[in-house]
Structures are given as structure tokens and as C-alpha cells.
Copies of this chain bind each other. A is one copy, B any other.
């Protein structure tokens, strides 16, 4: 690809030569390593990270190069945080909810039960003091964080038998990541963490009763519809699961201001791109899943209400014993409460979705052929 094109045509208003002598640039090349927590099979964030790397290179005219390493190549699975902390990778891409065992406040950089959706998260971070609070938190880990991707609202998990009431949660063995598991435990379930392959195998063999993995797009790729057919919504524990770019603070501070701006701009573009890609793919994936015979089941309101109540109790307990959580969550909760005034956005979405569901139902009636197994 041609790296630089010089201006050849005439009549280009506004483009002036700055002077006769070309300026001399300090061409200090930068080589960074990026450790990615996410498996390559998660193609959307993976493509987003690649776009980030490409854009950093382009914006720096080739002088700032980042090499991508998969989780297992450089940092062991859950170790992206530590790798970036130590500087064995200058940066990493991960989901902060993997680190809630260290501090529950990490969840506030990813998703919490009945929390913000993707747009609300962006607004809180950029204009509601959220990013400043998270930056302060990450300072304790020697890390500078940037939001870089969001899956949108996730589904509420795959179930071997549909949940009919909160009582069905008692003893339910469920694969789940993040704070949602803490809430389910309070409701009598037995939550646990498994990797993607383990999740598939355990659900198929009946060693667990339910599992949440990620978005419909990722779930379809993992083939969870081959293990059981009840796919519930909404995923009240991940209304918008955010990915993060972690940068070692010393490496970041050593960048020129221009390169810091480059990193910020490229991360913002990748953030937007990953969310847009999920928003494009998720509805397609849900349609495809439904065509395989997957039953889309709304979680009963009583289950949502019980989970909501248990979530508020959890937050109160966390605020009582974790000052980091208390400080950041206070800002998060105040912002979210204010979003109750989004009458226009919600009213519009509600009307549109009702219309769209009617159109889908009508289409279904016109095609009475039985759903085929794909």
C-alpha cells in the first residue's frame, strides 16, 4: 500500500507549502507488544484489536508498531493485567471483569448486574467523570486504561430447562463470569467459571444446567445451540459488556504527546468499531439461532425482580466493605439513575421494537415451513 502521496494537482485551495526546508522529525521508532486475553475465535474484538494496531501504525506514519500476542503466547489467560503491570507487555486487551477476584471494582469497567448499556457507559466515562475515576483506580496497578469495545446487551444464558420462577434458581449449576455469579449465588444457584471449550462440553454432558458465554454472535460460533435449546433474555448481568485496553503507565508516560493522542484516537475508533460490528452481527445471529430451533425465552419478571433485589443488596455490601467500589459505584449509580429521564430514547426504542416484532411474527406466519436444523 502506498504510504504517502504527494500533492500533484493544481488548484487545491487551502493547501500551502509551509516553507522551503522540510522539518526534521525525531523518528524514534516504537515497538510494543499487545497481549490479548480473548481467544481468536472471538473474531469481532480480535478484528478490533487488529484495526487498532493498524491505525496506530498509519497515524504514526509507520513509526509506532504494535505486535499482537494471543493470551497463551505471552501472558497466561487471566494474566493480561499482571503482564501489563510488570511491563512484559506494554499493553493488553481484555475484559476487566476477569479481575473481580482481586477487586470487585474492576467490574465497573466492564459490566455490573442491571448496570449501564453501551451508550450510557460511554457517556458516563467521557462526560460523567467515569473515566477519571477508573484511571485513578488503575493507577494503583500502574496501568492507564481506555475503553476498547463493547458487545452490547448480552442474552441471559442457555438453559437445559427453562427458568419458570426464582425457585428454579436453587441449586442451578451455571457457568457465568463477572458479578452476575455473585448475585445468582445469593439466589441459591451454584455459579462457576469455565473456559469456552469446557463450557460447551459441560453443558452438553449435563454437568452444568445452564451457561452464559457472550453475545449471540459468539454463542452461535461456539455452537451452544447444539447443547440445549432454551436461550433466555435479557442478560441482566451484562447490559453492555465493555472491553478495555490496558497500557503500562511507564510506557505510556514515555510516549510523546502526539503518540498519546494517536493511541487515544485509535482506541476510540476501535471501541466504536467493535460495538458497531456486534450491533450488526448479533441480530443476524439470533435470527440464525431461531432458525435452528433455538427457543428465545423472556426471563420471567419474577426472576428479574429477584435478581434486581439481590444485586442491590450485593452493591450495598460491596460499598460497605470496599472503598474503591463505593467511590466509583456512587458516581456510576447516580449517572444511571439520571438516565431514567431518557424518555425519548426509551419511548422510541419501545415503539420501534414492537413494530419490528410484529413484522417478524407476520413473516413467520407467511412461512409455515417447520424450522430446519442447520
Interface membership of A178, Cβ < 8 A: no
Interface membership of A3, Cβ < 8 A: yes
Interface membership of A132, Cβ < 8 A: no
Cβ contact within 8 Å between A29 and B14:
no
Name A336-362 residues within 8 Å CB distance of B: 336-353, 355-357, 359-360
How far is B14's CA from A251's CA once the two chains are assembled, in angstroms? Answer: 8
Cβ contact within 8 Å between A31 and B16:
yes
Interface membership of A304, Cβ < 8 A: yes
Interface membership of A99, Cβ < 8 A: no
Interface membership of A369, Cβ < 8 A: no
Q: Which residues in B have their C-beta under 8 angstroms from that of A349? A: 117, 153, 239, 346, 349
- Residue in A25, A265, A281 whose Cβ sees the most chain B Cβ within 10 Å: A265
Selected contact of A280 from candidates B128, B345, B350, CB within 8 Å: B128
How far is B17's CA from A28's CA once the two chains are assembled, in angstroms? Answer: 5
Q: Which residues in B have their C-beta under 8 angstroms from that of A202? A: none
Q: Which residues in B have their C-beta under 8 angstroms from that of A18? A: 27-29, 63
Cβ contact within 8 Å between A341 and B287:
yes
Q: What is the CB-to-nearest-CB distance from A209 to chain B, in angstroms, rounded to a whole number?
A: 21
Proximity bits, A215-255, B CB within 8 Å = 1, else 0: 11000000000000000011110010000000000110011
Q: What is the CB-to-nearest-CB distance from A336 to chain B, in angstroms, rounded to a whole number?
A: 8
How far is B203's CA from A267's CA once the two chains are assembled, in angstroms? Answer: 45
Cβ contact within 8 Å between A31 and B6:
no
Q: What is the CB-to-nearest-CB distance from A35 to chain B, in angstroms, rounded to a whole number?
A: 12
Interface membership of A292, Cβ < 8 A: no
- Residue in chain B with minimal CB distance to A216: B344
Cβ contact within 8 Å between A280 and B59:
no
Q: What is the CB-to-nearest-CB distance from A280 to chain B, in angstroms, rounded to a whole number?
A: 4
Interface membership of A258, Cβ < 8 A: yes
Cβ contact within 8 Å between A342 and B351:
no
Interface membership of A182, Cβ < 8 A: no
Interface membership of A256, Cβ < 8 A: yes
Cβ contact within 8 Å between B23 and A257:
no
Q: What are 18 A-to-B residue pairs whose CB atoms are below 8 Å?
A: A11-B250, A14-B30, A18-B27, A18-B29, A19-B27, A58-B258, A59-B262, A117-B349, A117-B352, A126-B273, A127-B276, A127-B277, A153-B344, A215-B344, A234-B347, A265-B265, A336-B356, A342-B353
